[in-house]
Amino acid sequence: MMKLLTTRDAAGICGVTAMTIIRWCEEGRLRAYRTAGGHRRIRSEDLESFCRSTGIPLPDEALPAAPRVLCVDDEPAVLDLFRATIEGMPDGFEVATAADGFEAGRLVSTFRPGLVFLDLYMPGLDGYEVCRRIKGDRDTRGITVVAATGHASKKNVDRILECGAVRCLEKPVSPSLIEEVVREFLVPLVGSAAAARSGKGRVAVRRGRPATR
């Protein structure tokens, strides 16, 4: 899972000053981009590549961690089910929950999930718009979105898939199906993180067939 770093973050990882990081960026040695506010951001993958090429040792925590799961639904019982099921899996995933689309948007940016389970109909910002925003941002478009709804009509399913979701599950969603989806999309990323730590590269995520259950 890609993480975005500030120049201060990168400086702490590399054991240099923030000004040194800025100089490396200006010289074109370290890839970075500027936010709308003019601040530099460095992708963890670019910093890792730079450090390996220059011989700078990387602490384990600077490398990709096991992906996280964000569950978005306005029903507390549904969120409890998703959290209990995923936290009960042996892979040690971190789980965050959001009860509305606005909170989901905030957590997508700060929690940086690898997978989002997304309800379609919520007060305020609905799941369609949340999905469009995730997939419309270059920093979050790589996040896998799996919708879940009690209104799984063909129209609704087609609409959310067009927004960028990879599957649409019909509620009530069983714990076994939740585990199946997590294994399909996140377990390969766990292997990716482990491979990165051993210097063996990353494992591509296998995309599943969009379907309803």
| Phi-psi map region of 8: left, alpha, beta (phi>0 left; psi -120 to 50 alpha) | alpha
| CATH ID of 4-62, from 1.10.490.10, 1.20.120.640, 3.40.50.720, 1.10.1660.10 | 1.10.1660.10
CATH homologous superfamily for 68-195?
Answer: Response regulator (3.40.50.2300)
Measured CA to CA, the distance from residue 82 to residue 46 in angstroms comes to: 33
Q: Which residues contact 129 (CB under 8 A, 6 or more apart)?
A: 101
State how far the Cα of 193 lies from the Cα of 188, in Å rounded to an integer. 9
Asked if the domains 4-62 and 68-195 are classified in one and the same CATH topology, the answer is: no
Please tell me whether the overall predicted TM-score, pTM, comes out greater than 0.95 for this model: no
Residue extents of the structural domains in the chain: 4-62, 68-195
pLDDT of residue 117: 98
Report how far apart, in Å, the C-alpha atoms of 114 and of each of 94, 142, 158 are.
10, 8, 23
Token pair of 130, please?
Answer: 């949340």
pLDDT < 70 regions, the chain = 1-3, 59-66, 188-213
Alpha carbons 103 and 108: distance in angstroms, whole number: 9
Q: How many CB atoms neighbour CB 132 within 10 A?
A: 15
| pLDDT attached to residue 65 | 52
**Residue of 121, 136, 108 whose CA lies nearest to 96:** 108
pLDDT for the residue numbered 60: 54
Q: What is the pLDDT of residue 181?
A: 95
pLDDT value of residue 66: 55
- Asked whether the CA dihedral 49, 141, 34, 111 is positive or negative, the reply is negative
pLDDT, one tens digit per residue, over 34-68 is 887 788 999 887 888 888 888 887 765 444 455 78
- Strand order across the beta sheet in which 68-72 lies: 94-98, 68-72, 115-119, 144-149, 167-170
